[in-house]
Amino acid sequence: MSSLLSAPSALREDALRRLKREMWARAVKLGLRSWVGWRRGFTSKADPQRSGRVTAEVIEHLERLALVDFGSLEAVARLEKAIAFADRLRAVDTDGVEPMESVLEDRCLYLRSDNVVEGNCAEELLQNAHRVVEEYFVAPPGNISLPKQDEQEPFSHI
Amino acid sequence: MLGRTLREVSTALKQGHITPTELCQKCLSLIKKTKFLNAYITVSEEVALKQAEESEKRYKKGHSLGDLDGIPVAVKDNFSTSSIETTCASNMLKGYVPPYNATVVQKLLDKGAVLMGKTNLDEFAMGSGSTDGVFGPVKNPWSYSKQYREKRKQKAHGENEDSNWLITGGSSGGSAAAVAAFTCFAALGSDTGGSTRNPAAHCGVVGFKPSYGLVSRHGLIPLVNSMDVPGILTRCVDDAAIVLGMLAGHDPKDSTTIQDPVKPFTLPTSADVNKLCIGIPKEYLAPELSSEVRSFWSKAANLFESEGAKVIEVSLPHTSYSIVCYHVLCTSEVASNMARFDGLEYGHRCDINVSTEAMYAATRREGFNDVVRGRILSGNFFLLKENYENYFIKAQKVRRLIANDFVNVFNSGVDVLLTPTTLSEAVPYLEFIKEDNRTRSAQDDIFTQAVNMAGLPAVSVPVALSNQGLPIGLQFIGRAFCDQQLLKIAKWFEKQVQFPVIQLQELMDDCSSDFEIEKLSSVSLKQ
């Protein structure tokens, strides 16, 4: 990756595009085909029974924010029902009412004194992680965002 | 012995009629026999026997730690338990072994309780049936009771005995089933929208939800930080009071616990009922309420009146919006709380390694079930910039209105509210799964979730059996931090209704000696 950073920008972009393609190829092999596949199905067939609040844009936005996918049309339908259910709140008159964050709002939150009383348990904590190197949790590179729907390659060549 | 109350067994232990190890072994053997209920995810046999041994040593020396010493208990699997797998019934945490004990678990262990195991639940405590965990659904012990089976024989002949088993309610169904089936004397549940009281009503046990801020949430894997509370499930109100006495109090590790001092208390048998004012919220008379529950509710109100209590109708005007408000706030907080599961530091991790986002997405897809994912997505929707004001802030405002409703009612002189806990008795699993999780939760939490939004204490007490031979419970709601008074009233009521003991025929035949009513010289229910 370090050589990628020092290459001229055009080459870098090309390499990034290749990397994204590889990523998607692998993701598909590992079974995320259905994730992308259902979304294609979604855009091509409009379900007349749905209210249309949850558009393709909203779906993509939510999936990106939540890093959790809908997975099926039913899940979208469930979200629409959930939104319709929540819309009932509009009927309540809340003029002049302050939002309530906690039932203990009239009390002071307890803060303990700033003294170290526990810790030094790195080894114990690292045991629960799948990938560690010495005292580090190992994460994949963080500067690559999930590709947008229109950047996906067609599946015919895979 | 297993059919006794906590207090009675504790006395028996102190007097040497039974040893902690014997008690532990009986419970372990019963757990094995009731494995088909699927109430336990993990049975911590070795740990339990070791704890029982240590308890025995203490009793021999005369240094018992108190009423809980040597008593078998179970803990819902969303409480962290050191060195014991904690899964929240999810693939995301399968194999996760916490390095620490939740404060409430630590308190139980410090008082000598013997941990039998971790009980089953809906995945991440999201649900009202205990049917949506990865380890399968929990079966209601009453499905196998003599009382239910006899009623069924009159209706269906030649039906496969096990095909139409009943749900326990949820999400603390495993804990409720464990207590109802006599495999432990007390169990911890969690209560966010009724998750302790709902299964308690369906399984015929006492389900107590303390005031928010009374019991520490440290170590309870959070669902909704502003509403979660550890719940207590026992076979009688007195036992719940004993456990509450051990658990309540400020915890420096949970800054949402109040700092007022809390002392353990003993509940008196009398409750000065003629000085009480009982409120009956009229909006809780829902059209979907079963006629049987309504009739028991009415009888209970009459019972209080006949003892001289003032029973009045009160109004909680925003009741019809409370389930909607709960839905928005719950999914929003869930969306935030579930963000911690990314596979990096603990829990499931997928094989994709090309980028953090792809890894997180795939991990979360593999780790969470549809229900959890659905709530995360709904929550994220309500928290979007364009929706924040109209949904999340609006719901917070409605929450204040709901909490104020309760404050107004209690300020008008009402001591305690009496309501149903559930719409009807437990339904068969095959019936329950016809609707999706969100619909069911919206239906089943109707009487219980407003209490969580206001942070009040509440308890579900089993009242009587329905025409089908299944338990029905009623709920008492108290003023904030008046848990002791609430339990006092519940205890009096429990004594009046004399709810029948479950008759688990097959189990009784095998271990009949455990259920014989032994005459112990100085043990008596009357104190």
Secondary structure letter of residue A31 according to DSSP: I
Residue B137, domain member (yes or no): yes
pLDDT of residue B105: 97
CA distance B386 to B327: 19
CB contact under 8 A, A22 and B347: no
pLDDT value at position A24?
Answer: 53
- Give me the amino acid identity at B493: F
Structure tokens at A20: 């994204």
Closest-approach residue (CA) in chain A for B397: A99
Indicate the length of chain A as a whole number.
158
Count CB atoms within 10 A of the CB of residue A16.
13
Nearest to B352 among A26, A63, A107 (CB): A26
Nearest to B206 by CA among B449, B519, B486: B486
| Domain membership flag for residue B337 | no
Edge-to-edge strand ranges of the sheet holding B277-281: B40-43, B114-119, B72-76, B186-191, B229-234, B206-209, B458-465, B471-477, B416-420, B277-281, B310-314
Phi, psi for residue B458 in degrees, rounded to 5: -155, 155
Nearest CA to B329 among B194, B449, B479?
A: B449
Residue B176 touches partner A, C-beta closer than 8 Å: no
Written as one string, the DSSP assignment of B474-487 is EEEE--TT-HHHHH
**Which residues in chain A touch residue B393, judged by CB atoms under 8 angstroms apart?**
99
Rounded to the nearest angstrom, the minimum Cα separation between B519 and chain A is: 48
pLDDT tens for each residue of B112-141: 999 999 999 999 999 999 999 999 999 999
Does A146 lie at the interface with B, CB-CB under 8 angstroms? yes
Residue A142 has a pLDDT of 86
Rg (CA), chain B: 22
Are the beta carbons of B460 and B197 closer than 8 angstroms?
yes
CB pair distance less than 8 Å for B356 and A139: yes
Q: Which residue of A61, A68, A94, A144 is the best one to mutate when testing the B interface, meaning the one whose CB has the most B CBs within 10 A?
A: A68
> Domain residues for B53?
6-276+457-507
Looking at the 3D structure of chain B, how many domains does it have?
1
Distance, in Å, from the CA atom of B109 to the CA atom of B115, rounded to the nearest integer, reads: 8
Distance in angstroms (rounded) separating the CA atoms of residues B446 and A96: 27
Q: Strand, coil or helix: what is B187?
A: strand
For B265-275, letters b (16+ CB in 10 Å) and e give eebeeebebee
Closest CA to B170 of B224, B225, B107, B233: B233
Length of chain B counted residue by residue: 527
Q: What are phi and psi of A45, to 5 degrees?
A: -120, 120
Identity at A125, one-letter amino acid code: L
Q: What is the number of H-type helices and E-type strands within chain A?
A: 6, 2
CB contact under 8 A, B256 and A102: yes
Given this model, what pLDDT does residue B57 score?
Answer: 95
Any idea which residue has 């495993």 for tokens?
Answer: B174
Beta carbons of B250 and B508 less than 8 angstroms apart: no
CA distances from B32 to B39, B86, B119, B204, B503 (A): 11, 20, 14, 22, 18
Which of A12-26, A69-83, B258-272, B495-509 has the largest mean confidence?
Answer: A69-83
Low-confidence ranges of chain B (pLDDT < 70): 154-161, 505-527
Q: To the nearest 10°, the Cα dihedral for B342, A30, A1, B347? A: 20
First to last CA, chain A: 25
Q: What is the pLDDT of residue A155?
A: 36
Name every residue whose Cβ is closer than 8 Å to that of residue B161 and which is 6 or more positions away in sequence.
B149
Answer yes or no: is B38 within a domain.
Answer: yes
The whole-angstrom separation of Cα B364 and Cα B93 is 11
> Alpha carbon A27 to chain centroid distance?
15
CATH number at residue B462: 3.90.1300.10
**CA A73, A79, A84: angle at the middle one, nearest 5?**
130
Q: Please name the helix (run of DSSP H) or strand (run of DSSP E) that holds residue B189, with its range, or none.
A: strand B186-191
d(CA B131, CA B433): 8
A–B interface: beta-carbon pairs under 8 A: 197
Is A35 in the B-facing interface, judged by CB distances under 8 Å? yes
State the alpha helices, DSSP H only, in chain A: 2-6, 9-27, 33-44, 56-66, 73-86, 122-126
Question: Considering the domain boundaries, does residue B294 fall inside one?
Answer: no
Q: Which among B361, B374, B397 has CB closest to A94?
A: B397
Backbone angles phi, psi at B282, to 5 degrees: -70, -25
- From chain A residues 4-33, the ones with a CB under 8 A of any chain B CB are 19, 22-23, 26-27, 30, 32
Q: Which residues contact B358 (CB under 8 A, 6 or more apart)?
A: A23, A27, A140, A144, A146, B352
Q: Report yes or no: A42 and A73 within 8 Å, Cβ to Cβ.
A: yes
Q: What is the DSSP code (8-state) at residue B84?
A: B
Q: Where are the beta strands (DSSP E) in B193-269?
A: 206-209, 229-234
Contacts of A86 in chain B (CB under 8 A): 324, 327-328, 382, 391, 395
A81/B357 touch (CB, cutoff 8 Å), yes or no: no
Q: Do B325 and A75 touch (CB under 8 A)?
A: no
By CB atoms closer than 10 A (0-12, 13-18, 19+), residue A141 is middle
Cβ <8 Å between B397 and A129: no
Task: Write the single-letter amino acid at B514.
Answer: D
Hey, is the C-beta of A120 within 8 angstroms of any chain B C-beta?
no
Residue of A nearest to B396 (CA): A99
Number of Cα atoms under 13 Å in the Cβ half of residue B200: 35
> Among the residues of B87-236, which ranges form H helices?
103-110, 146-155, 173-180, 197-203
- Mind telling me how many Å the CA of B166 is from chain A's nearest CA? 26
Residue B369 resides in a domain: no
How far is it between the farthest Cα atoms of chain A? 63
- B513 part of contact set with chain A, CB < 8 Å: no
Question: Residue B272: which region, alpha, beta or left (left: phi > 0; alpha: psi -120 to 50)?
Answer: left
Torsion region of B284: left, alpha or beta (phi above 0 gives left; psi -120 to 50 gives alpha): alpha
Give the model's confidence band at A10: pLDDT under 50 very low, under 70 low, under 90 confident, else very high.
low
Nearest-CA distance B354 → chain A (Å)? 6
Give the separation between CA B404 and CA B455, rounded to whole angstroms: 11
Q: Is B94 on the interface with A (CB under 8 A)?
A: no
Contacts of B395 in chain A (CB under 8 A): 86, 89
Residue B37 lies in a domain: yes
Mutation target vs B (from A32, A34, A100; most B CBs, 10 A cutoff) = A100
Running DSSP on this structure, what letter comes out for residue A141? Answer: -
- Domain for residue B414, yes or no? no
Residues of chain B contacting residue A121, judged by C-beta atoms under 8 Å apart: 99
- Pairwise CA distance, residues B224 & B406, whole Å: 21
| Window 97-126 of B, Cβ < 8 Å to A | 97, 99
Please report the pLDDT score of residue B352 as a whole number: 86
d(CA B479, CA B457): 7
CB contact residues (below 8 A), chain B span 32-91, against chain A: none
Structure tokens at B172: 């603390």
Tell if the CB–CB gap between B324 and A19 is shorter than 8 Å: no
Q: What is the 3-state secondary structure (H, E, C) of B359-371?
A: HHHHHHHHHCCHH
Note whether residue B285 is domain-resident: no
Q: Please give the share of chain A, as a percent, with pLDDT higher than 90.
A: 39
Q: First CA to last CA across chain B, in angstroms?
A: 19
Chain A CB within 8 Å of residue B189 CB: no
Q: Which residues of A touch B226 (CB under 8 A)?
A: 101-103
DSSP reduced 3-state for B333? helix
Residue ranges of E strands in B375-438:
416-420
Q: From its phi and psi, is residue A33 left (phi > 0), alpha (psi between -120 and 50) or beta? A: alpha
- Residue B10 CB-half CA count within 13 A: 22
Q: Residues B329, A102: contact at Cβ < 8 Å?
A: no
**Mean of per-residue pLDDT scores for chain A:** 75
Please list the active-site residues of B: 76, 171, 195
Across the interface, whether the CB atoms of A141 and B354 are under 8 A apart is answered yes
B500 or A156: which carries more pLDDT confidence? Answer: B500
Report angle CA B78, B80, B85 to the nearest 5 degrees: 85
Q: What are the C-alpha distances in Å from B87 to residues B97, B174, B341, B497?
A: 8, 13, 12, 38
Instruction: Check CB contact under 8 Å for A75 and B353.
Output: no
Q: In this predicted structure, what is the pLDDT of residue B140?
A: 96
How many angstroms separate the CA of residue A8 from the nearest CA in chain B? 22
